[in-house]
Amino acid sequence: MSRIITVGAAQLGPIQRAEGREIAVARMVRLMERAHARGVELVVFPELALTTFFPRHYLENIADADPWFESAMPSNETAPLFAAARRYNIGFHLGYAERTEDGHHYNTAILVSPAGEILLKYRKVHLPGHAAFDPKRAVQHLEKRYFEVGNLGFPVIRAPMGGIELNMGMLICNDRRWPEAWRVLGLQSVELVMCGYNTPSLNQSAAGFEAHHLRVFHSHLSVQSGAYQNATFAVAVAKAGTEDGCELFGHSIIVNPQGEIMAQATSWDDELVTADCNLDMCTLGRTTIFNFAAHRRPEAYARITSQVGAEQPEVWQGK
């Protein structure tokens, strides 16, 4: 019998700085209701889905950012999401800013079962941006200021969801651009990768020109190649539209193990796109071209784990 799960990419429109969590949560509950009506069994929300993408704002005193963080999950404010999961018998993936009991700060995502249990937690490893205010940038990207590097690796869990069992893992935003992250998930036989993102339409780094349309292309290229090279489905879900005056590009997608886009959001607002994912499709890649056991050559990959920055090659000296 085929293993099919219906997944929903629940893109969120902008959440302004002045808006409270209850507004975002109410919008997400409405998306879960719509997802349920459309037969979705697992709904995926974006990175930092409860607030504005606050790393664009510089706060001199880092502690002043704490109101953007969750110190409990669920909390009174996020409990309606867990209640909706139980009411609609639907799992969900949520990105949020986490403050631990002992005061650590992470950019985190959780996978929640239809019974409202947290099945898996992931903390973002690849934090883009900078730690100090950058006067050259029109818009800041201060993830390195507000978050610590995730300390949970790239975990995968096999768990029941929507009447089947499947292997699920997570990436967060910038992680999707790093093939190493996908491969660590692939090496755990992941079948569905969930990835929330907040990506500005413009490259604000002032380091050179990047054409507007290539921003979306690079995002899709990363997700499609990650899915293909690891024979997995992927759901990449954006926050979209103009948030605190800064445009985020949306274009959420669901991708199959051939790297094909099965569904794509077209608005810059709250939008649900869905796809029936037949997990048997993972078999072709992982038993042929990406049969890791047969073809990987880790003895040739030492640089991947022993080196961080690029080195210069040896220079040819002629004969």
Residues of this chain, 192-231, that bind ligand CDV according to CB under 6 A: 197-199
Strand, coil or helix: 66: helix
Report in angstroms how near the CB of residue 97 gets to ligand CDV at its nearest: 12
As beta bridge partners, residue 192 has 168, 233
DSSP string of 8-38, one letter each residue: EEEEB----TT--HHHHHHHHHHHHHHHHHT
Contact 128, 198 (CB under 8 A): no
Q: What x-and-dash track marks residues 17-56 binding ligand CDV by CB under 6 A? A: ------------------------------x---------
Report in angstroms how near the CB of residue 143 gets to ligand CDV at its nearest: 6
Report in angstroms how near the CB of residue 197 gets to ligand CDV at its nearest: 5
Q: Which amino acid appears at position 233 of this protein? A: F
Q: Which of the following is catalytic: 124, 195, 246, 271?
A: 124
Q: Which of 289, 231, 239 is nearest to 260 (CA)?
A: 231
Q: Which of the following is catalytic: 41, 173, 195, 277?
A: 173
Report in angstroms how near the CB of residue 304 gets to ligand CDV at its nearest: 20
Say whether residue 141 binds ligand CDV (CB under 6 A): yes
- For the record, the structure tokens of 22 come out as 């209850």
Say whether residue 128 binds ligand CDV (CB under 6 A): yes
Strand, coil or helix: 105: strand
* Residue 282 bears catalytic tag: no
* Residue 47 bears catalytic tag: yes
Size of the site for ligand CDV (CB under 6 A): 10
Say whether residue 174 binds ligand CDV (CB under 6 A): yes
- Which alpha helices (H) appear in the chain, and where do they start and end? 21-37, 79-88, 143-146, 179-186, 212-229, 282-287, 292-295, 302-306
Binding site for ligand CDV (CB under 6 A): 47, 128-129, 141, 173-174, 177, 197-199
Catalytic residues: 47, 124, 173
